[in-house]
Each structure stands twice: as structure tokens, then as C-alpha cells.
Structure 1
Amino acid sequence: MLVHLGGDVTVHRKEIVAILSSEVGEAPSTKEFLRVMRDEGRLINLAGESKRRSIVITPDKVYITYLSCSALKRRVENFLSEE
């Protein structure tokens, strides 16, 4: 099942490694991780000018989204209950 992350972007729920709150993004180690992903072209900012609320990590890319962790969690749980 696909999980909508914002904009026109969806990922398969099985590809989601982690969903992190944007507050975690303020930690020095997370900032470094995001910088490396950006430098490698693997960071996708779906939040645009909106407030960054969540970071979604997949094996290939990292997505910054304006959706809250709880909204993303509900989307994943809804798909799990449908299976």
C-alpha cells in the first residue's frame, strides 16, 4: 500500500524505515545526516515554505514533509488495517 507524504509523493509503506518528528531534526547528528542526504541529492523537501513537521526515512531517500508524525502514523495504520 502507498502512503501519501505530501504533494504528489507517495511511498510504499514497507519502504518506510522511520518517521521522525521535526524536533529530532534539530539534533547535531540529525542535521549532519540531513546535510549528507542533501549533498547526495537524496533529500526531498516536500514542506517547501511550510513548517517542517516530520522527516520520513526510506532506504533510498529522506523526505521532509509538512504532515505531522501522528497524521503519517494514522495513514500507515489505516493501510495495515486494510490488509
Structure 2
Amino acid sequence: MFLHLGADMVVPLRDVISITDLKSAQSGINSEFLKKMRDEKRIFDISENDPKSFIITTNKVYLSAISSLTLKKRAGHFQIYENI
């Protein structure tokens, strides 16, 4: 299954680690994490300069114009099955 992040970008749902509201990144550990990812050029802004959320995947961090709540609802529509 895939998760649509906006701006014609989809990622495999199995690669999504976290979907977080960007307002929570104003300070603290999220802010430090995003700064480090920016320095490493691992942030991809697909928000057209209006980011509302950030999505951490196994390889990249995406800034999306779609709210974290909406993205979580989209992801919640899929049930993930893993081999144990």
C-alpha cells in the first residue's frame, strides 16, 4: 500500500516511520532533528512553501501541505500485515 503525501508524491506505507504536525517542531528535539536532516540534505519540501506536517520515512523526510491528521487518517485506512 502507498500513502499520498500531496503534490503527486506517494511513498510505500511500510516505509513511513512518523507523521508529525510541523507546529510541534518549533522547538525541542523535533527542531534539532529537522535541522540535522536539512544539513544532510534529506528533507524534501513538497508543500509548495506551505508546510503543515512532516513525514519521516526510512530514507527521507518530507514536508507536506496536508495536515498530519489527514495523513494519519489516510494511513489508517490501510491495515498493515507483517510476517512474524
Query: What is the TM-score with the length of structure 2 in the denominator?
Result: 0.84
Residue deviations 1:59-78 (CA, integer Å, cap 9, x gap) = 11111111111110111112
What does residue 73 of structure 1 align with? 72
1:4 corresponding residue in structure 2: 4
Q: What is residue 21 of structure 1 aligned with on the other side?
A: 21
Q: Which amino acid aligns with 1:71?
A: T
Residue correspondences, number: 80
Q: Please tell me whether residue 30 in structure 1 is matched to residue 21 in structure 2.
A: no
Cα separation, 1, equivalents of 2:47 and 2:25: 14
Alpha-carbon offset, residue 48 of structure 1: 2.1
**Which runs of 5 or more structure 1 residues have no equivalent in the other structure?**
none
| Per-residue deviation, 1:20 | 0.7
What does the per-residue CA deviation read over 1:34-65, in whole Å, with 9 as the maximum and x for residues that have no partner? 11111211101111222x21111111111111
- The two structures have a TM-score, normalised by structure 1, of 0.85
For 1:18 and 1:62, the matched residues in 2 are separated by 10
* Alignment partner, residue 54 of structure 1: 53
Aligned residue type for 2:31: K
CA RMSD of aligned residues (A): 1.5
